[in-house]
Amino acid sequence: MRRKRVNPFEESQLWVKTDPPGFEIDVFENKGRGVRSTIPRQRGDFLLVYSGQIISKKEGERRERKKSSGYRYFYRDLCIDATKDDGRLCRLINHGTKKEINCKMKLCGDCLCLFATRDIQQGEELLYDYGLKSYPWNSSLTLVKRIFRWKTLLALTHHSSIALPVEKLLLKMIFRWKTLLELTHRSSIALPVDKLLLKMIF
């Protein structure tokens, strides 16, 4: 049975300073912390407010250059810096791929709010598109495919003399990938991925 529908915009204005009930933090494999809905949601429902310090886009970019936190949301000529953990939930929602996405960020007055883009099941993780072209935690499959292709090519052409330099190059790529993971707060998956890649190389 569907619950009585409340105007999503009006509802969002009631939760500017605190989060509504019906959500919980959970730990997800290869992601770390994320947020689940503990009740069913309808498409178009208001979910959460993205809370943080409102600064100019220029200041946000300056802070990003100094130290990337992964918690700054840019829109128009402004930035919401949610680097500081204030206990609010929206900053913990993970990025999702096209098929996984179930919510979207929208501007409501002076607030950035998250709304459901489809019906969401009880216990389902909330996922939205961060709006960036690439993410280091999504690049592992591409890197694994390249390693496999290069090792196969070496074996087929018997160029064992160039194996060591290629392996050194791959190790450099792994180190760079792990560094990106740490910068984006996905370091929890760096160690298992490193082990997998090293096993494939050697």
In tens, the pLDDT along 1-34 reads: 455 667 878 888 889 899 999 999 999 988 899 9
Give domain status of residue 2, yes or no.
no
- Same domain for 192 and 100, yes or no, is no
pTM: 0.64
Give domain status of residue 67, yes or no.
no
Domain count, the chain: 2
- Same domain for 143 and 182, yes or no, is yes
Give domain status of residue 62, yes or no.
no
- Same domain for 106 and 42, yes or no, is yes
- Same domain for 97 and 179, yes or no, is no
Which band of pLDDT confidence, cut at 50, 70 and 90, is reported for residue 76?
confident
Overall residue count recorded for the chain in this entry: 202
- Same domain for 97 and 150, yes or no, is no
Comparing CA positions, the residue from 11, 28, 148, 40 lying closest to residue 95 is 28
Does residue 50 contact residue 82 with C-beta atoms inside 8 Å?
yes
Strand order in the sheet with 46-49: 46-49, 111-116, 103-108
Residue type, position 113, single letter: C
Give domain status of residue 28, yes or no.
yes
| Separation between Cα atoms, residue 29 and residue 33, nearest integer Å | 9
Give domain status of residue 91, yes or no.
yes
Give domain status of residue 70, yes or no.
no
CATH number, domain at 40? 2.170.270.10
- Same domain for 26 and 103, yes or no, is yes
Reply yes or no on whether the pLDDT at 49 is more than 60: yes
Which band of pLDDT confidence, cut at 50, 70 and 90, is reported for residue 109?
confident
Domain that holds residue 170: 136-201
- Same domain for 16 and 40, yes or no, is yes
Give domain status of residue 13, yes or no.
yes
| Separation between Cα atoms, residue 47 and residue 41, nearest integer Å | 9
* Percentage of the chain lying above the pLDDT 70 cut: 62
- Same domain for 20 and 116, yes or no, is yes
- Same domain for 103 and 157, yes or no, is no
Give domain status of residue 183, yes or no.
yes
